[in-house]
Structure 1
Amino acid sequence: MLGNSRRRRLSGLLALMVLLLLTVLASVAIGTRSLAPGTVYDAVRHAIACQGGPFSCAAGSTAEEIVRGLRLPRTALGLVTGVALGIAGALIQGYTRNPLADAGLLGLNAGAAFLAALSIYLFAFSAPEQYIWFAFAGALIAGVVVFGASAIGGGRASPLSLVLAGAAVTAFLQAMTNAIVLLDPASLDTYRFWVVGTVAGRDAAVFWQVLPFLAFGVLLALIASPGLNLLSLGDDVARGLGVNIGRSRALGLAAIVLLSGASTAAVGPIAFLGLVVPHLARVITGPDYRWLVPYSGLIGGLLLLIADIIGRVVARPGELQVGLMLAVVGAPFFIAFVRRPKLVSL
């Protein structure tokens, strides 16, 4: 029985990887402007052959500029942020033991939004690569504050105290952000394009800036997964089995902050992805986080890229941001999904 279950999960991972590869190819080939498949293939082949990297060589035509300068960086950023948000959603739901938890619950989105808006207001930033570091720092600071506040008194952060501290920090930071953007219309103009959530308009520099943090966050998540299985049995049981509760939870929260913070800083808050993806993965893997984490990452990358592709097609010659697409599709889907209680139990 265990062998069959393992083979089924491995087959599922392989199938998801194939689907993700096909979706990546579709993301490069499909856009608001139609290009011939041969043109797309030549542009990608030239980008791969470029000695300075796929994003660095000068394009020889307008079509190559579209593919190599816009679609390839956009697809790469969408892939890594989708994977990161899917994994972060699984970890957040596990550590808070809350099936409705996502990055917004721990104040990470609010922290990123506050420092992004503040930097735009103080320094008149207008490009994502300028304020991305402030947004990332805001998410990091918010995560540290939430974790520290939840540990006051009892000496360790519990799932309930994490949720309560996150709600308090989120409310405060949202109020501060609203004050900034309402006082300064110029800041609002720039901030509103970030807060809607999109992978459009981000060049290769943004991708390279967040990639090391996302890679390290994925590594921490994989290391933390076995301990999270034991924590899900309850703190007393996990402690009896030899788990260092504080260290295990700190490791997982560090992964959450890195993954959610870097992703949100790069593309803005993406609604419903971190909320829905773990439930989809749990249908296949069950509650075992050693499998749930990689499944959530692959499904997250797949859904974000699909939503981005649909957003480019449905509003031609313009496009709809991926954050809007995921909210429109995710809200009714999740409402129907949570009506089946056995699928939301952790």
Structure 2
Amino acid sequence: MNIDFKDISVVIQGPVQAYQGRSQESGITHKCISSIRQYLPGATIILSTWEGLDCNGLEPDILLLNKDPGPTIDWYDAEGKPKLQNYNRQIVSTVEGLKRVTTPYAVKIRSDNFLTGNNFVAAQQAFPAREEPAKLFSQRVVVNTSYFRQYSNGQKVVMLPSDFFHFGLTEDLLKIWDIPLFTDRKFEPSKLGTPQYRGAPKPSPHPEQVYCNAWLMALDNTVPYLQHRHDHSPELLKYWERFIATNLVVLEPEQINLGLIKRFIPKNKRTNEICHQDWLLLYKKYCDKNSPISQLDVFKTIGWRRMFKQPFSYLKYQLLNKIKH
């Protein structure tokens, strides 16, 4: 099935200029809008940003100026100083945009990313085999490999997908982003002198894990609350593999045609991130046994570097742990 561009809405979410501690490349949101007009002609463009920001010169089809929900207190250091995360800002700017979508398909893209083509549209339909029991989305959702981690501190992790870019059915993107806002962590005076955060004293979950764990628990009541960053059992790891093999299409930015600003582009592919070949192996394992991919393909691309990098990362993590304690 070919998807017509007029059946796609693009939700551009986030600030359109430097905003409360977040730097912004000058003119990047204009570049984002222009790239959508060029590569998805006929698509509806929805810019979902904040009240008070200067949107002059930006010409989306729909402009949403949302009330800023502010940052969320995620944890406190040993002295009781709060650390903030923009959980609710990303939720509000994304979901308010998605709620205005009237087309069957939608893209979620950051206001500081842009398109270099439209390969992601065909890719969404290119992997038809799915494992029925693991289906939680009506169709596959295309996601980016950047910051989609398989490892952290040299250890396997689950529920850590990238949140830069999503493309799929609007109803499926709403399953990801239409979740309750997070509340501030309450300070406990009795714990002053030690850090207070989810998972303490083990490493706290990455923000992407916090998001993913929330929406995955809402979709499937068998999914457990993630206690800390490295929290998983063999059963949960298999569940996560089956989920991404069945419900996602995981592509490199250049395969998606996703343009990233310089600070998001590493000199070399990060070995802790999933690569497209990793995902293809999972697709073959759980969905299509005839898929032409092998472990050798992964080894030749990134696997040989992982053999050295991940054990070193784990050793570094263990040494730092001993020093702290």
- TM-score computed with the length of structure 1 as normaliser: 0.25
Q: Identify the structure with the greater helix proportion.
A: 1
| Greater relative contact order (CA < 8 Å, ≥ 6 in sequence) | 1
- TM-score computed with the length of structure 2 as normaliser: 0.26
Q: Identify the structure with the greater strand proportion.
A: 2
